[in-house]
Amino acid sequence: MQDDVEAEMRRLKLELQKTMEMYSTACKEALSAKQKAVELQRWRMEEERRLEEARLAEEAARISAEKEKSKYKAAMENAQAAQRIAETESQKRVESEKKALHESDEGMSVTTLRYRRYSIEEIEKATEYFAESRKIGEGGYGPVYKCSLDHTAVAIKVLRPDAAQGRSQFQQEVEVLSCMRHPNMVLLLGACPEYGCLVYEYMANGSLDDCLFRKGNTRPLSWQLRFRIAAEIATGLNFLHQTKPEPLVHRDLKPGNILLDQNYVSKIGDVGLARLVPPNVAEDVTQYRMTSTAGTFCYIDPEYQQTGMLGVKSDVYSLGIVFLQILTAKPAMGLTHHISHAIENGTLAEMLDPSVPDWPVEETLAFAKLALQCAELRRKDRPDLGKIVVPELNKLREFGEQNMSHFLVGGSPAPSSNQSSTSTEKVSR
């Protein structure tokens, strides 16, 4: 009996042990199933997130594709429009070339229609066959004759057959002067292209060089006139520089190329060396490389002379030298150095033209300093012609006009009573 009880107890222990093991296994399996469920949930959420990102990316790609499609369509439309314009312009150019060729065949180019054409017979008759008694000047280009054409006093410049580069200068002068009008530019009345004759308005008082250096014992110019002439020269030059579509650089500005009419109104002439500067290089120092420099020694821009780089401020340098000569009536050689030294030492009065006894102190000094700025060796140091030089000279011209009843040569009218004491102070000698 005792043995049966013990056997039953062992059996029950074994069953309990198996039950415990089965329970433990069940717990482990339940935990593993729970972990797998959590991982499955996480994976499902990750897949949903990826699907959403893919959807958004697809939507963005679709929008981008639509935008690109619109851009492509617009680009195609623009290209087609540009092609149509190009075809139209090409057609216009072809028609223009045909028209120009037709006019050329008839001997009536666009250029020649802009001025009066004179025959060589008319020129010979007017100049009495180029008589010496009619000659009023001689330059590198050729002789100049005074005569009458169409009941008008004119000056005829005749190209010498041996004049270097004369033919190209003749053509350049015709092209420049025949298509522009300005009160401070010499007026081209006509030409005889076949024989290289240019017909200008007659300038009764000759050149500024003649007047400054008193050639022919002319009377001296008053300071009032000199201020006005300086302003007129700058105004005319600024007009050249504003030529459209390309700025025009004179390249040979000097007193001999500035002419004075019967009222001493100054006009720039001799533009045979002028050059058009391409607009794609135009800037505040508009410049253009030339194969060789041209102009007159002492008036040529040093930078242009050294580098061949031509610009509107090349003319400003020449203008500065002309201004100094207007003040001093002295040769151009070394003039900038002498004037600069005189201003530093307070002896400017000793450098001024002695034929003018009453130079105004402050205004003359301002004019001299402006002239030196224009004649700076470095182009970038020279002032802007239209923005600085012309306005300053207009002030000096107005000052001169306020101090005279009318422009005179030689004499010095008494200043008006409403002048300030500083303005009426004169340079003592």
Task: Please state the domain extents for the chain.
Answer: 114-201, 208-424
- CA–CA separation, 61 and 311 (whole Å): 54
pLDDT at 233: 97
Cβ count within 10 A of residue 408: 15
CA-closest candidate to residue 287, choices 270, 306, 269: 306
CA-closest candidate to residue 246, choices 217, 289, 279: 279
Q: In DSSP terms, which residues pair with 309 in a beta bridge?
A: 289
Span 323-336, average pLDDT: 96
pLDDT at 37: 85
CA torsion, ordered 158, 162, 163, 165, to nearest 10 deg = 120
The dihedral region occupied by 320, where left means phi > 0, alpha psi between -120 and 50, and beta the remainder, is: alpha
Position 310 pLDDT exceeds 90: no
> Greater confidence, 415 or 208?
208
Whole-angstrom CA distances from 346 to 188, 193, 369 are 45, 54, 13
| Residues with catalytic function | 252
pLDDT band at 208 (very low <50, low <70, confident <90, very high): very high
- Per-residue pLDDT tens over the stretch 104-128: 444 333 333 467 899 999 999 999 9
Give the CATH number of domain 208-424: 1.10.510.10
Instruction: Tell me the H-state helices in 198-301.
Output: 208-212, 223-241
Q: Is 271 exposed, middle or buried (0-12, 13-18, 19+ CB in 10 A)?
A: buried
E-assigned strands of 143-196?
143-149, 152-158, 188-192
Domain range 114-201, its CATH number among 3.30.200.20, 3.40.50.300, 3.40.50.410, 1.20.120.450: 3.30.200.20
Q: In DSSP terms, which residues pair with 266 in a beta bridge?
A: 260
Query: What mean pLDDT, rounded, does the chain reach?
Result: 82
CA-closest candidate to residue 412, choices 403, 402, 425, 423: 403
pTM for this predicted structure = 0.66
Q: In DSSP terms, which residues pair with 117 in a beta bridge?
A: 191
Asked if 185 and 267 count as a contact pair (C-beta separation under 8 A), the reply is yes
- CA–CA separation, 280 and 390 (whole Å): 25
pLDDT at 274: 61
pLDDT at 307: 84
